[in-house]
């Protein structure tokens, strides 16, 4: 029973952290602040790496500006449906969740 309590505490703590990040990025625009962490690859080379623009894209998604988010980082925008399918497959119940799980985790289990 003690292990279940720890698992519940971790889930609650993770939810609180996720909610704090969502509120932070919904209210705070990293494109207009010098406090936002900058990409070290871009600072050293001047080239954008695949993760450049994730903070700006997340802010744009949370404020409903999907077109701008897609321009900032298309990888983040395209990964959201896959992440939702993977979460439903991991935590859902029923045949639909089983299908989502097989779709999302197919390559992982075949290695």
pLDDT at position 107 is: 56
Cα 38 from Cα 9, distance rounded (Å): 32
> What are the φ/ψ torsions at residue 109 (nearest 5 degrees)?
-80, -15
**Tell me: the pLDDT tens digits for 50-71?**
888 899 999 999 999 999 999 9
Mean pLDDT across the chain, nearest whole number? Answer: 83
pLDDT band at 84 (very low <50, low <70, confident <90, very high): confident
Task: Please state, in angstroms and as integers, the Cα–Cα distance from residue 19 to each residue in 14, 15, 23, 109, following that order.
Answer: 9, 6, 6, 31
pLDDT at position 60 is: 93
Of 55 and 92, the one with more pLDDT: 55
pLDDT band at 28 (very low <50, low <70, confident <90, very high): confident
Q: What is the DSSP string of 33-64?
A: -SSSPPPHHHHHHSPPPTTTTHHHHHHHHHTT
Cα 4 from Cα 7, distance rounded (Å): 5
Determine if the pTM surpasses 0.75: no
- pLDDT mean over 24-36: 84
pLDDT at position 42 is: 86
């Amino acid at each position: 029973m003690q292990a279940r309590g720890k698992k519940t505490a971790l889930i609650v703590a993770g939810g609180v952290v996720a909610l704090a990040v969502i509120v932070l990025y919904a209210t705070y625009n990293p494109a207009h602040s010098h406090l936002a962490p900058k990409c070290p690859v871009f600072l050293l080379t001047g080239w954008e790496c695949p993760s450049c623009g994730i903070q700006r894209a997340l802010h744009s998604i949370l404020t409903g500006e999907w077109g701008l988010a897609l321009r900032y980082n298309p990888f983040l925008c395209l990964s959201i449906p896959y992440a939702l399918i993977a979460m439903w497959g991991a935590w859902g119940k029923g045949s639909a969740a089983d299908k989502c799980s097989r779709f999302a985790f197919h390559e992982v289990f075949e290695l």
